[in-house]
Amino acid sequence: MKVIGINGSPRKKWNTATLLKKALEGAASQGAETELVHLYDLTYKGCTSCFACKIIDGPSNGRCALKDDLTPVFKKIEEEADAIILGTPVYFGAASGELRSFMERLFFAPFVYSQPPRSAFPRQIKTAIMYTMNVTEELSEKFRYDVMFKSTEALLKRTFGEAETFCCYDTYQFPDYAKVIMEYMDPVKKAARRAEVFPEDCRKAFELGCRMASK
C-alpha cells in the first residue's frame, strides 16, 4: 500500500502542508508507505493541448506526453500509488496555479472522449483533495466555493473511481499579523481559532489518511 501526497502550496510548513503531513501520518499508522511531493519544487507547465494522449495506439495514449518534472510523479501515481491526496490553499476562489496546472494533466491524459466519457487510467485508486482557506465556512457558501469542490471531486471520481473532499476554513494566514495590514480579519479571533479548531482539523486529516490506507 502506497499513499502519495501532493502539496499545491508554496509553503512547506504551514496549513496545507501540515494537514497533508497529518493525513500521511494517518496512512502510515495503517502500514502504508507514504511520499509527499511539493509541486513548487518542480518545473513544469500545464496541459499544452498536444493531444498525444488521445492518439489511438500512440506511444502516449492515456498518458501525458510532456517530459518535465511531473513525468516521474505521474509514473509513480500510475504504477505505485494505491491512493493520492491533493492539497491546496484557495486563492481567489480557486486552487493554486501549480495544483491547477498539475490537475489539467492528471485529469486530461486518461480522459477518453467516449459516450459516456470514461477513464483510461489502468485501475481504481482512492483519492482525496484537501482545501485550506482564509474565509469562513459562511463566506465559502456565499462565494459558492462548493461549485469548485464538487467539480474537482467529480473529476477525481471519474478518473480514479473514488474521492472525498476535506475543507479547512478560516485559517491563520500569517505568522505575525502585526507586520501586515489586516483590517479585513480580526487577528485575535484568528489566533483563537488556530489554537482551538486547527488541532481538530489535524485530527480529521489523520483520520482521512487512515481511510486512504484502508483495504
**What tens-digit pLDDT sequence spans the chain (215 residues)?**
999 999 999 999 999 999 999 999 999 999 999 999 999 999 999 999 999 999 999 899 999 999 999 999 999 999 999 999 999 999 989 999 999 999 999 999 999 999 999 999 999 999 999 999 988 899 899 999 999 999 999 999 999 999 999 999 988 776 776 676 776 777 778 778 878 889 999 999 999 999 999 87
Q: State the total domains in the chain.
A: 1
CATH (domain of 206):
3.40.50.360
Name residues whose C-beta falls within 8 Å of residue 155's C-beta, 6 or more positions apart in sequence: 103, 107
Model-level pTM? 0.92
Structural domain harbouring 134: 2-213
161 closest CA partner among 107, 124, 112 = 124
pLDDT for 182 equals 73
Please name the residues in contact with 196: beta carbons below 8 A apart, sequence gap of 6 or more.
none
Contacts of 63 (CB under 8 A, 6+ apart): 53, 74, 78, 109, 110
Q: What would the pLDDT profile of 134-186 be if each residue is shown by its tens digit?
A: 888 998 999 999 999 999 999 999 999 999 999 999 887 767 766 767 767 77
Under 8 Å between Cβ of 160 and 78 = no
Single out the residue of 86, 105, 121 nearest to residue 208, CA to CA: 86
Contacts of 143 (CB under 8 A, 6+ apart): 93, 135
C-alpha cell at 163: 474521492
